[in-house]
Every structure is written in C-alpha cells, then in structure tokens.
Structure 1
Amino acid sequence: MNAAVTATGVTKRFGPTTALDDVGIELTPGETHALVGRNGAGKSTLVSILTGLVPPDSGTVRFGEEPAPALSDRDGWRRRVACVYQKSTIIPTLTVAENLFLNRQAAGLAPIRWGRLRSRARDLLDSYGVAVDPGALAGDLGVEQRQLVEIARALSLGTRFIILDEPTARLDATAIERLFTRMRALSAQGVTLLFISHHLREVYEVCDRVTVLRDARWIRTAPVADLDHDSLVGAMTGEAVGLTDVPPRLTKPSEPALDVKGLRLTGFYDGVDLTLRRGEIVGVTGSGSSGKVSLAETVGGLRRADTGEIRVGEKTVDAGSVPAALKAGIGLVPEDRHREGLVPTLSVAENATMPIADRLGPAGTVLPARMATVADDMVHRYDIRTPGLSAPVTSLSGGNAQKVVLARALSTGPRILVLINPTAGVDVRSKESLLGAVRAAADAGTAVLMVSDELDDLRHCDRVLVMVHGRVTAEFPAGWDDTRIVAAVEGVSTKEGS
C-alpha cells in the first residue's frame, strides 16, 4: 500500500540543541498510528514539521506521491494535514459556524449570508455526527465538543491526515470512548490519524502501529500487537520498567488536617463531607460531570461554595480566595497548568518561587542570588529539566512545566496539597517523578487531596472516593481493583469495597 504520509531523514536543530536527529515515520491510508516518547523526545518538533510550521534542516516530507508544499503555502498545508492540539485553536468569541468556515464564510468579495453559513455548518456537523449548535459561541463548548469542531473543520478542507495531540488529556472515560468510536469511523473512511498520548493503554486500545522517539532519535516502529507494555516503555526510556508497581505507603495518617462539612455549589456538587488526616493521600475520581474538579477547586480557593465550611486544623478558611487558601496552608496544582498554573512571561525561577517571594529579600524585595539558590534547590529536588533558571517557563516540556507547578505548590510547606489531574499530558518518567514528590510530601506530614481520572495515579492513595452527580457515593481503601472503581464511577455500584 502506498504511504499516506512519509517523513525521511528529518533533522532539526535549534541553536546548540538537536530536537530531531535523522528521524523518519511512515503512515498508511486509514491507519491510526501512535507517536510516543518522553517529554523532550522530539514529538512536538516532528508535529511542527509535519504541519509545515517549521522547516527541517535536512530530510523530506511527502503526502502520498507529492512533496510537501512550500512553507509559505498555508492553504496547501491545510488541505493535507491538520492538528488538534491539547490547547484548542478554536476562537472562543466566534460561533461554531464561524470557526468551521473561518476565512471561508463567503466566496470572494460577496457578502456573508449568515443563515446560509449556519446551514452549511449544520450539514457539515451532521455528516460527522457532531451534536453541536452551529450558532453557539465556541467559548461555551466543552473540551470534547471543541475537539470535534476542530476535526470537522479539518475534514471540510479536504484533509485526510489528522494529528491528535493528547486528545484525551482532559476528557473523562465516557468522552474518551466516544472519541475512539469516531476515530475508528474516520479510519474506516480512509482518514489517516497520528495519535500522540502518554496514556499507553489508549495506544493499545485504538492504534494499529506505534513509533517511538527517544532523545530526538527514532527508536522503533512496530505493530502495537507485537509490543507488550514493558517493551514499549523500555523503548521510550531505554530501561526495563513496569507500569503499575506502586510501593506500599509506610507512613500512617494521624490527626485531622482538613475538614470539609456540608459543601454545596449549585450545579456542581451537593452535601460533600470530607476529612483528610496528616500524611494521608486521598484520591477523588468520577466522570466529567461528577463535580470532582469543582470540589478540589473550591478547597484550593478557585471557587466559592454556596454553603458549607472548610477548616484547616482549627481555623475556617475564607471561601473563594486563593490568597486565603495559601495563608491557611493549602497548596494547589490546578487542572490547567497553562492558564492557571504558570505565568508564561516569567522564568522558571520566578514561577517556582512566586508564593515565597516575600522570603527572598528584605522589605518585600527579591534578591536575585537568593531566588537563584532556592530555585536551584527546587530544580534538583524535583528533577526539573531546564536549560537554566532564567529560561522562560514556556521553553519547558509538559512534564517539566508540571514539575514547576508542583514545586511552587510545595514551596510554602503546605499543610494541605490539592492536586487536579497532576499527571495529565506528561510522560512515564515525569509521572514517576511527580508522584514520588507527592508521596514524599505526604510522608513528611502533608495531607494530600488528589483528583484524577488516572487509575495509576490513584494507586498511590490510601483511600479513593468516587463522586457521581455531585455526591460521594463510594469509598475504597488501598488495594482496590480496577473493575470496582470503574463500576462505581459509572454508577453501577455505590457500595464500599476493596
């Protein structure tokens, strides 16, 4: 079978850094092909080259029998390839219809006929089974709906090659299965998909073949069925590793550190009671509509509950205030590190030390040498791979950026640490590093509330709570099995179990 997309001998350098070194990949029509590797392996650079955003220093890209268009021919690239990024490219202030036909609302200089535009958009969405109102503001859509609109927009341009960059990072289990069903339907229609994910179980579920990158080089391409989990992770890391080995917790929780009583936020959760003890890791999971993220955001100060009380030790925490939460001893790793966790215009050191800036010099000043000393300690303690302390935080890979967010949350020595999907979109080794730091904080006495959709994250918890429609419906002690957790999340079982 002729290849749909081929990259051969691709090398790309940014100054002294080699981002890709003689890398190749080939995809066949209708194939769903996984691209995996640790953060910094070269995946993002390869995607940038496959989408015509940057030129390779050497090597070639072909679509079918034709060479890639010139970099300046943006329409030519759009007709051949589209990428649905983890961070949506949908314009939130425009309607769905306007986003679908951006710069194509009318022919030539003809006036835009808005009724006709919405009708075209509805026909396009219906043809791909996307249940979205063409007149809705794109900013009001959920993550899943935005992804589907981006896919429909690409297909309307004639694109037969779509790159999905961490598409499941912010979806719940039900939405992920719907996405996979649509992916299979597209593959059956001959659309070629490149699937990038750190969730290796998803690779086995939906992909035909997998290509592994490591340290900017191609390592292996093979049918997914020919690689077991450990072989795949070994190819990614260069080491033999297991995916689910979690050492038992040795520290026993003690006195209460956090008490949540009767917490209610209309439309999100209702009547939540929760107690965390010093040194305890408590997981919370559930579907996207369960209210778990909103609950964690309330404890962390990002939301204000309608009723109820949050107490840290003997003190009541002022609701809906991040400064009040910080003062009470609550550290937060938010769900969206790009929007809520980092200041992109600041350096690695400035981001990491932000909550303790008042400790870095006299009378509210920050002494650069003291900040550098503290930040350097964080970089080594949390294994943050960075070009330097003064490097912009935007230069870091996803896993290392998340380590900066965690380091900042722990910089104050919090009594309570709240984590929301802490390993979403990070590689296997970064997950181990992040979760190791969380366990170390708990071993030192910090109470941890970890909201996650990832079962591997939840295995580190002393107990796991399941939320359904805004209420805690089940609690599982350590040692639970996957089947019972998943059943509880889906509302099949609400009994306590192990």
Structure 2
Amino acid sequence: MTAIAPGFAAEAHGVVKRFGPIEVLHGVDIAIPVGDARAIVGRNGAGKSTLVSLLTGIHSPNAGEIRLAGQPAPAQGDRRAWRERVACVYQRWMVIPHLTVAENLLLNNQPARAGLVSWRSVRDRAMAALADWELDVSPDLEAWRLTVEQRQIVEIARALLQGSRFIILDEPTAELERKEVNRLFDRIRALQDAGVTFLYISHHLEEIYEICRTVTVMRDGDVVADAPLDELPRDALVAAMVGPGVATGRRQSRPVSDAPVKTGLEIRDLALGDDIEGFNLSVAAGECVGLAGLAGSGKDRIAEAVAGLAVPKAGTISIFGQPAPLGSVAAMRAAGVGYVARDRHVRGLFPQMSVGENLVTTILERLGRLGLISSAKQAATVNDQIRTLGIVATSGEQRISELSGGNQQKAMVGRALASSPRVLVLDAPTQGVDVASKEALYGIIDAAKARGMAVLLVSDDLDELSICDRVAVIFRGRITRSFARDWKEHDMVAAIEGLY
C-alpha cells in the first residue's frame, strides 16, 4: 500500500463491503483533507449510505482500510473513540426527545467528580455552547420542543464537544426554510475556517455548489468522479451520476390514446405550508402522471393531501369533476381515491394480520351487515384478489409478514384497489421489491389505467417514472419542469436535482 499523506480528516483505501453474497462497494478510494467541505453525491443505491456506515463505524469493511485523522479507524466496538473522531448529523432525529438540551449536548460526555455526574458543570458547559452558537433556548428545555434547525445545531455542537473535528451532514436542508439554510451554511463556513471538516450528502445539487469545495460522485458502488467543484460543471456532474446506458426500455411500450378523455384528478391552488402554495396538477382518466422530486420537495405531501392524510390550508381537489372533502382518509376513499403509502412497514401493512385481513380492511362494510362480516364473502373477495394480483401465499390466512417484499407490496396495491377507486395514488410503489415483482406491479398499474382510473405515481426512481404518460417535476413545493414520455435520463435527473 502506498504511503498515506498527512492532513486528511478521513480516508477510505480500497474499501470493499459485502452484505451476504452482494458486494455493494467495489474498492472505493476517497480522501478528504482537513478543513474541506466534501460533497458526496449519487443516485439512490449508489453506495453513499454504505460508505457513511463505514466512516462512522456502524459497519466494518470486508477489505481495505478506513483512516480518520491520519490514524487507523478504531475498533468497531469502541464507540467513544469513534465519537471523538467522527459524527453524523442525520436527517432523522438523533437527539433523545425527553432529555433536556443540556443532557443531549453532553450525552456520553458528562463532566464528573468522584464518579458522579456534575450536573452544575453539565448545565454550565451547555450554556456556554448555546451562547457560542447564539442559540436562544434554555439548557433545561426538553429536546422534542426544538425546531429542526435548533436540533441540527444541538447535534453539531454535541459532536464538537465530544472532540470530533469531522462531521457528516446527511440531507441537512431537507426540512429547512431558505433563511435557515443560509444560517446553517454560515456556521459551516465558520467551522471550516476553524479546521472542522465536513462531508455533505445531499440531493440538492445547487446547494453543494454553494457550500462545498470538492465532490465525490458514486455510481453502483464505485467512485466515478472526484474533483474540485469549480472544475466539474453541473452538466458533467449529472452525467457522472447517471452514467451511460441508463435507459429503462419501458417508455416505448405503452402508447397513449389520442381519444378525448375527462379529467379524473384535479388539484387547484393547493396550499400545505412547507413551501407548497398554489399547487396545480391534473390527471386524466386512463392516464398515469408521475410527480417526481427529491425528499422534502413536497411530492409526498401532495400525495397525502389527495389521500386525506394531510389537511390543506387552501385549495381544492376534485375527483372526476366533483369536489372532494379534504383532510379525511375515509371521506377521500368514499370520493373514489385509493392510496398506497411509501413505507409499507410503517404506514401500510398490519404485520400481525393475515394476507386476507390486510386486503379487505378498506371494504369491511361491503362484507356483511350490522357490523358482522360474512366469512364467505371475505374469503371469496380475498381469493379473487390473490388470483388477480398474482400474490404468492399459501392462502389468505397466511400472516402477511411471512410474504416476500414484492408480494406484500402487491397486497398493499390490492387493498387500495379493493374499494374500486377512480383515482389511484401510488407513492414509490415498487420500492424495495425484486425485478419480477416490479414487472407485476407495472402490469397492475396498466390494468388500472385500462379501466379508466386516473393514476398519480409519486417517485424519484427513473424506472418507475418511465411507465408514466407524462411527468411533472416538483422542486421546493412548485412544479419546475414537465416531461412527455420521450424524456432523457440526463434531463430528468437534472430537473429532479434542481439543475433546471
């Protein structure tokens, strides 16, 4: 191995990572100088999260070496040593909600005397840190009361108090307003000047040109570009992310009828907060429209509003010309909306219930009278759904948690279709399923279109978007680009990432 140059906050040399028989990192090399702000970018599945898991000691490489501050990485179980060298501020909460701000700031690092925590010293050190960051909150405030911006400050300040001078920021601006983003960037620049190093993970490419100095581009488990940002124009960056030959081959297989059709779903002047104001979109009967965007773009909130999960501040939603009641799942379902949530484990499945029970939860009133369900009607409905959707299960009585991910996803779509909706809203419908299950789910979507449903498909996955008749791209709450079926991967990725 060649000698490792000094002055690097973090390095990976020839790093290989496998999960079972699947190799997800293929000899990755990266070196981040002290005081740098390095962006790491790539499409979903590029290997970014796996690399971060190695740089933070969550996993160990199968081959190669990780070094921090010029030294070999600590043993995986030595969490204190890892905390002193690297910290990651994740998009999800990593503070402990019911501990105070002071307790979170000094977590695992409390000053002690004779083996006992000095709570006066904890509070004093917390107050000093809050003053340094000009954060006007009480050290005694419970952390769950913090805003997103305040929580991020607490996490960064905690990392510095623990001694880390290398901080990984994972999608730090996804939930921030622009003025909060500007304040975060000002703090990052000040810390860089003090020698703190940042690894910045973001899908918002326009932001990395604003805050980062260098960039590493990953694709399919490899580093494909590594350069100063001022030497890598935006078109070249997107081209590196997309790579050659990323055609899905599906867009030409589904011609669109030129016959006049009626509007199935119409969203007018919708306001949901979070930068979503005056949003407009329509989907015709028999049409599949993609709503593409990054996490935090607003696309999932739009889907939730159509499903009745989010209560709009203003605007209307019409189903085949009829105004729909807003803010009620049951009312929107009665109006003709079927909905498949993004995360089947958190918001979709009842894992301890059977396949059949999951399939019919939206239509129980149709299966009996006076609150009593006819087991014969339920069995007939379930068997018909299993056959139509191609669900592989021993029977409708099998627990749904025992099925493969693809069959669980088919069941979720089947439950949405059970109520005979006229509008079908699908949020990342093929996420986490195998190729065969994807094809089956695409077939189910085609069948729904053929029956005259208006289909809204919310996604940032190119393969999913390729089945759409047209795609609207949403960025920070507004539609910035619209694409017909013949879109190019480079143009779509650039629009999704905000480089339109």
8 Å contact kept, 1:253–1:277: no
Q: Which residue of 1 aligns with 2:390?
A: 373
Instruction: Report the 3-state secondary structure (helix = DSSP H, G, I; strand = E; otherwise coil) of the residue aligned with 1:9.
Output: strand
Distance 1:39 1:211, change over 3 A: same
| Matched residue, 1:168 | 173
User: Which residue in the other structure is 1:31 paired with?
Assistant: 36
**Contact 2:148/2:176 (<8 A) preserved:** yes
Alpha-carbon distance change, 129 to 331 in structure 1, aligned in 2, over 3 angstroms: farther
Aligned letter for 2:480? L
CA contact (8 A) 1:296 1:451 kept: no
Alpha-carbon distance, 1:390 to partner: 5.6
Say whether 1:67 aligns with 2:93: no
Aligned partner of 1:159 in structure 2 is 164
The TM-score, its normalising length taken from structure 2, stands at 0.66
Match of 2:327 in 1: 320
Residue-by-residue CA offset, 1:14-59 (whole Å, 9 max, x unaligned): 1110011111110101101111222222111111111011111111
Tell me the distance in 2 between the aligned counterparts of 1:390 and 1:282.
Answer: 23
In structure 2, the residue matched to 1:440 is 469
Query: Is this contact kept in 2: 1:333–1:405, CA < 8 A?
Result: no
Distance in 1, matches of 2:470 and 2:52, equals 36
Which one of 294, 301, 304 corresponds to residue 308 of structure 2?
A: 301
The answer as to 2:45 corresponding to 1:10 is no
Q: Tell me the CA shift for residue 318 of structure 1.
A: 4.3
Kindly provide the amino acid, as one letter, of the partner of residue 329 in structure 1.
G
Q: Aligned with 1:130: secondary structure?
A: coil
Q: What is the identity, as a one-letter code, of the residue corresponding to 1:85?
A: Y
Name the structure 1 match of 2:252.
none
Match of 1:183 in 2: 188
The reply on whether 1:135 has 2:140 as its aligned counterpart is: yes
- The letter for the 2-side match of 1:460 is S
For 2:292 and 2:222, locate their aligned partners in 1 and report how far apart those are by CA, in whole Å: 38
> Does the CA contact (< 8 Å) of 1:85 and 1:164 recur in 2?
yes
One of 330, 340, 364 as aligned partner of 2:337? 330
Which of 117, 123, 129 is residue 124 of structure 1 equivalent to? 129
Deviations for 1:398-440, whole angstroms, at most 9, x for unmatched residues?
Answer: xx99343799999676647496xx54xxxxxx2x445545x52
Structure 1, residues 340-382: CA drift from partner, whole Å, max 9, x if none? 6555969xx99x989989999844536796476379xxxxxxx
Matching of residue 402 in structure 1 with residue 425 in structure 2: no
Preserved CA contact (<8 Å) 1:262 1:308: yes
Where do 1:286-297 residues align within 5 Å?
A: 297=304
Q: Aligned in 2, Cα 1:12/1:150: closer, same or farther, shift over 3 Å?
A: same
Contact 1:357–1:366, Cα closer than 8 Å, also in 2: no
- Separation in 2, partners of 1:18, 1:46: 12
Q: What is the match of residue 453 of structure 1?
A: 476
| Alignment correspondent of 2:373 | none
1:53 and 1:292, CA in 2 relative to 1: closer, same or farther beyond 3 A?
Answer: closer
The question of whether the paired residues in 1 share the 8 Å contact of 2:268 and 2:278 is answered with yes
TM-score when normalising by structure 1: 0.66
Secondary structure of 1:205's aligned partner? helix
Deviations 1:154-179 (A, max 9, x none): 11111000111122233333333332
- 8 Å contact from structure 1 (residues 210, 224) kept in 2: yes
Contact 1:7 1:25 in 2 (8 A): yes
Structure 1 residues 453, 270: closer, same or farther in 2, change over 3 A? closer
| Partner residue of 2:86 out of 68, 81, 89 | 81
Q: What is the aligned partner in structure 1 of residue 207 from structure 2? A: 202
CA distance in 2: counterparts of 1:200 and 1:59, whole angstroms: 29
Partners of 2:216 and 2:360 lie apart in 1 by 39
Task: Say if 1:331 and 1:416, in contact at 8 Å, map to a contact too.
Answer: no
Q: Over alpha carbons, which structure has the higher Rg?
A: 2
Return 83-92 or 95-104, whichever deviates more: 95-104
Query: Aligned to 1:135, what secondary structure does the other structure show?
Result: coil
Who is 2:234 aligned against? 229
Separation in structure 1 between the aligned mates of residue 103 and residue 464 of structure 2, nearest angstrom? 40
How far 1:134 moved relative to its partner?
A: 3.0
- Report the CA distance shift for 1:344/1:353 in structure 2 as closer, same or farther (over 3 A): closer
Q: Distance in 1 between matches of 2:279 and 2:225?
A: 49
| Aligned partners of 1:281 and 1:461 also within 8 Å | no
User: How far did residue 316 of structure 1 move?
Assistant: 5.2
Which secondary structure state, in structure 1, belongs to the residue aligned with residue 428 of structure 2?
Answer: helix
Cα 1:325/1:221, change in 2 over 3 Å? same
Q: Deviations over 1:199-232 (max 9, x none)?
A: 2222222211111222212222111111122322
Given that residues 289 and 469 in structure 2 are in contact (C-alpha distance below 8 angstroms), is that contact kept between their aligned partners in structure 1? no
For residues 45 and 271 of structure 1, what CA distance do their matches in structure 2 show? 36
Contact 2:428 2:457 in 1 (8 A): no
Q: Percent identity?
A: 38
Alignment partner of 2:63 out of 55, 58, 81: 58
Native 8 Å contact 1:8 1:24 kept in 2:
yes
1:147 has 2:137 as partner: no
CA pair 198-319 structure 1, distance change in 2 beyond 3 A: closer
Task: Please name the residue that 2:116 is paired with.
Answer: 110
1:73 shift after superposition: 0.6
What is the SS of the residue equivalent to 1:460?
strand
**Structure 1 contact 11–23 (Cα < 8 Å) conserved:** yes
Would you say the 8 A contact 2:283–2:454 is kept in 1? no
Q: How far, CA to CA, are the matches of 1:271 and 1:217 in structure 2?
A: 40
Report what 2:420 is aligned to.
none
Q: Which residue of 1 aligns with 2:406?
A: 389
Please, which moves more after superposition, 160-169 or 23-32? 160-169
Alpha-carbon shift at residue 276 of structure 1 (Å)? 4.9
Q: In structure 2, how many angstroms separate the alpha carbons of the residues matched to 1:12 and 1:26?
A: 18
In structure 2, the CA distance between the partners of 1:67 and 1:107, relative to structure 1 (3 Å rule), is same
Q: Is the 8 A contact 2:169 2:200 kept in 1?
A: yes
Deviations 1:221-269 (A, max 9, x none): 111111122322222232289xxxxxxx99899756567899999x999
Q: Distance in 1 between matches of 2:260 and 2:126?
A: 56
Q: How many residues align?
A: 416
CA offsets per residue over residues 39-94 of structure 1, 9 Å max, x none? 22211111111101111111111112321111111000000001111222122233
Unaligned runs of 5+ in 1: 242-248, 376-386, 394-399, 424-429, 443-447, 463-481, 486-498
Aligned to 1:445: none
